[in-house]
Amino acid sequence: MVEFNSRRPFHPQRLHACRNLLHNLGLDAVDYKDTATLRVFISERGKIRSRQVTGLSVQQQRQVATAIKTAREMALLPYPGRHTAR
C-alpha cells in the first residue's frame, strides 16, 4: 500500500486542454472598437471576466482589459455600477 505524506495534500495533475478564446475567435489582437468581441469578456453586470473564466493568457487578459477600459472611455461599453430602480 502507498503511504501518503500527511503534511502535503494530494492533488492529482490536472490534464485539461489550454483553451484560448481569442485563438478560437480567429483574433491575434483586440481592438477597442470591436464591441461584439469585447462583450464576450464582460459579464451581464458589466464587469470584466477573470482569466479563469475566459481562459486567456496574462498578456491577452491585459490586452482585453485595456481594450474594454478604452471602449468604456469612448462610451462604447457600459461601466459597471449600481442601477437601482425606485
Looking at the DSSP bridge assignments, the partners of residue 48 are 42
pLDDT digits (tens, 9 = 90+) for 8-54: 666 666 555 556 777 787 888 899 999 999 999 999 999 999 999 98
Q: Is residue 74 a contact partner of residue 32, using CB atoms and an 8 Å limit?
A: yes
Domain that holds residue 33: 21-73
pLDDT digits (tens, 9 = 90+) for 47-75: 999 999 988 989 999 999 999 999 999 99
Helix (H) / strand (E) element for 37: namely helix 35-38
Q: Is residue 53 part of a domain?
A: yes
Compute the Cα dihedral for 42, 48, 51, 57 and give only its sign. Answer: positive
Q: Is residue 7 part of a domain?
A: no
Q: Is residue 11 part of a domain?
A: no
Residue 86 in this model has a pLDDT that exceeds 80: no
Q: Is residue 13 part of a domain?
A: no
What cell was used for 53?
Answer: 473564466
- Total of domains in the chain: 1
Measured CA to CA in angstroms, residue 76 lies from 30, 59, 66, 68 at distances of 15, 23, 13, 9
pTM: 0.71
Q: Is residue 14 part of a domain?
A: no
